[in-house]
Amino acid sequence: MNRFLQVAWLVVWKDLRVEARSKEMLFTTLFFAISIVLVFSFGFVRAGQAVEGAAAGILWIAMAFSGTLALGRAFERERYHDALRGLLLAPVDRPAIYLGKLVGLLLLLSLVETVVAVLVAFLFGVPFFRHGWWLFLMLSLGTVGFASVGTLFSAMLVRTRSRTVLLPVLLYPVTIPVLIMGVSGTTALVQAEPDLAMARLWISLLFFFDTVFLTLALWTFEPVMTE
């Protein structure tokens, strides 16, 4: 296997194993996402009928807020016992560490999003799975965009004292386009007359955003992590 991918896989393996033992991020992220959906369902569903367009917004808000929680914890494990320096001292391409952290987060978030999507579909009575593959693609691309920026910012802030406050302050202005594209694309899919052409356009834009920010993050990770 290519050494770059091998290192990324090692980091993913390590993160998954740590998460399987602690279940810390999974439970907190899932609990938070479910809470958001439940609270909004009381506000936006009247007599079994949801406000039009609310479901898509709530799905993406739950993804963004719970994702921020997970991103905030992403490099905490590396910070404890200074394991981050152990990683940085290893003779590896440092962007491979970034990729490993990102993939680990994506796996966690995809699990949370699956539960959230089912819950939103159930509580808001929206046909999310009428075009299931489209929704899957939309959520996947949106999550990659959100997490690729978030993982980089999380790494940047790992040595700062006020990282928990700074992360959302930095993250949301940059990722607002992802959320808007995600909400608009999802709305196009779940409305009474699905607009697949519009959904395709948003998916293309999400793909473009992902390509740009993933490239930038891989490019800047090494200098960002050098003291």
Q: Which two tokens stand for residue 89?
A: 């001292």
Closest separation between CB of residue 26 and other proteins, Å? 13
Binding of other proteins by 85 (CB under 8 A) = yes
- What is the distance between the alpha carbons of residues 161 and 174, in angstroms, rounded to a whole number? 22
3-state secondary structure of 14: helix
Residue with Cβ nearer other proteins (15 or 113): 15
Identify the residue among 26, 32, 45, 93 touching other proteins (CB under 8 A).
93
Identify the residue among 47, 48, 91, 173 touching other proteins (CB under 8 A).
91
Binding of other proteins by 189 (CB under 8 A) = no
The footprint of other proteins on residues 21-50 (CB under 8 A) is: 21-22
Q: Which range binds other proteins by CB under 8 A, 5-13, 48-56, 57-65, 188-196?
A: 5-13
Q: Which residues, listed in sequence order, are joined to residue 49 by a DSSP beta bridge?
A: 46
Binding of other proteins by 193 (CB under 8 A) = no
Buried b (16+ CB within 10 A) or exposed e, 188-220: bbbeeebeeeebeebbebbeebbeebbeebbee
Q: Which two tokens stand for residue 195?
A: 């607009």
Q: What residue type is assigned to position 122 of the chain?
A: F
Closest to 7 (Cα-Cα) out of 103, 151, 107:
103
Binding of other proteins by 92 (CB under 8 A) = yes
3-state secondary structure of 45: strand
Binding of other proteins by 169 (CB under 8 A) = no
Binding of other proteins by 158 (CB under 8 A) = no
Q: What is the DSSP letter of 192?
A: S
Residue with Cβ nearer other proteins (25 or 36): 25
Binding of other proteins by 80 (CB under 8 A) = yes
Residues at the site binding other proteins, with contacts judged by CB under 8 A = 3, 6-7, 10, 13-14, 17-18, 21-22, 77, 80-83, 85-93, 226-227
